[in-house]
Amino acid sequence: MASVALGKAIRHEWRLDPDYVTVNHGSFGATPLAVLAAQDEWRRAMEAQPSRFMRSVLPDALRDAAAGLARFLGAEGEDLAFVPNATAGCNAVLRSIRFRPGDEILALSHVYGAVGNTIRYVASRTGAVMVEAALPFPRPDDDAILAGIQAALTPRTRLAVIDHITSSSAVVLPLARIVAACHAAGVPVLVDGAHGPGQVELDLAALNADWYAGNCHKWLAAAKGCAFLWARRDRQHDLHPSVISHGYNQGFAAEFDWTGTWDPSAYLSVTAALEFHARLGGLALRARNAALAFAAGNLVASRLGSETGTGNAPSAAMAMVRLPGAAPADATALRDRLLAAGTDVPLHCHGEEVWLRLSAYAYNEIDDYARLADIVHSVAAP
């Protein structure tokens, strides 16, 4: 494949505000015009005759889209169902398992807030207990991460909920090693892969987790509301979507494919997102984004007289930079000031420190982070 000019040269493929420093692809993604056009085509087809579309077109189209996405993920289409976001996928698994009083649900100390709340909700309704394994940060070490998880496993651990890439600290976890360790202890694993697809390589069959919930609207640049839940074949029985509807007890795909009337265009246009991802380079794009994030983190850290969260180790397409002089109590107001000053960079608190999380995507280039450093210095200088 011929190389594609990225950065500013390709920014016209999105509706991004040219005056804004957009360095937060990791939160909500940014859908390219090509995918929005494909989504509009599906909407037009649906509205031309809604009853015909829902009954005669949608079932096969949805399965075709699932099969195409599954091939990209190293999986089979029948083991994958669409959900609106990774949190919904995690909810489906957590609320399908029949926990008993005293059961333990293991999560990381950097668990995504919404998923952590889901675990707490399920635990409060069933008598189960949420247990957190401490994630070392900054400068995480794979061996230390694995040792912390293994130390938190007990004979009462019923489920481990493990992030693939943490949202609040951008740590790429040694997922295959973690899954193997949990399975060796007899513990099934639900992976919150919100940041995985399109940011790092994925082979779900080889990974062999029990469940994997991932977003497509972030690093695959699909439309908002496009995500998936993959379930290993032996884990599909008694797995139900959070909304029970007409497909109840008719099998994994049947239950998740129809949970009531909704706009399926985000799911169906995932094929266009996969094509767009491939056109921009696929594996080469992912490597380029990771290299840019690493350079960006070092640039901003140097300008602020600070440090990155991973030291000299690249961390996929996101980087963490400590914000000197900032206190967690000031983080919300500071984030608002940064938004008003023209950048969407998010802040995350770890202990008594505040960290900037930088994302790097196809439309970014190193000058974006130089501009970011100027904004942060003017708004947040101690």
Name the E strands within 71-171.
80-83, 104-108, 129-133, 157-163
Is 2 contained in some domain? no
Which residues touch 56 (CB under 8 Å, ≥6 apart)? none
Is 119 contained in some domain? yes
Does 287 lie in the same domain as 260? no
Structure tokens at 261: 């009337």
Is 172 contained in some domain? yes
Does 340 lie in the same domain as 270? no
Does 251 lie in the same domain as 218? yes
Does 136 lie in the same domain as 185? yes
Is 330 contained in some domain? yes
Query: For the domain that residue 310 is a member of, what is the CATH number?
Result: 3.90.1150.10
Closest CA to 199 of 25, 15, 367, 32: 25
Which helix (H) or strand (E) segment is 334 a member of?
A: helix 331-341
Is 16 contained in some domain? yes
Does 290 lie in the same domain as 222? no
Does 127 lie in the same domain as 11? no
Does 198 lie in the same domain as 216? yes
Does 19 lie in the same domain as 43? no
What SS3 state is found at 305? coil
Is 1 contained in some domain? no
- pLDDT truncated to tens, each residue of the chain (382 aa)? 447 899 999 999 999 999 999 999 999 999 999 999 999 999 999 999 999 999 999 999 999 999 999 999 999 999 999 999 999 999 999 999 999 999 999 999 999 999 999 999 999 999 999 999 999 999 999 999 999 999 999 999 999 999 999 999 999 999 999 999 999 999 999 999 999 999 999 999 999 999 999 999 999 999 999 999 999 999 999 999 999 999 999 999 999 999 999 999 999 999 999 999 999 999 999 999 999 999 999 999 999 999 999 877 667 999 999 999 999 999 999 999 999 999 999 999 999 999 999 999 999 999 999 999 999 999 986 5
- State which of 246, 275, 304 marks the end of a domain: 275
Does 151 lie in the same domain as 93? yes
- State which of 224, 247, 275 marks the end of a domain: 275
- State which of 275, 304, 328 marks the end of a domain: 275
Distances (CA, A) of 113 to 82, 192, 303, 348: 22, 12, 30, 12
Question: Would you state the pLDDT for residue 313?
Answer: 66
What is the pTM assigned to this prediction? 0.96
Query: For the domain that residue 96 is a member of, what is the CATH number?
Result: 3.40.640.10
Does 342 lie in the same domain as 222? no
Does 221 lie in the same domain as 186? yes
Is 58 contained in some domain? yes
Which residues touch 371 (CB under 8 Å, ≥6 apart)? 21, 343
Query: What is the number of domains present in the chain?
Result: 2
**Contact between 307 and 138 (Cβ < 8 Å):** yes
Is 221 contained in some domain? yes
Q: How far apart are CA 338 and CA 7, in angstroms?
A: 22
Residue 88 lies in domain: 38-275
Does 254 lie in the same domain as 196? yes
Q: Whose structure tokens read 């840019």?
A: 292
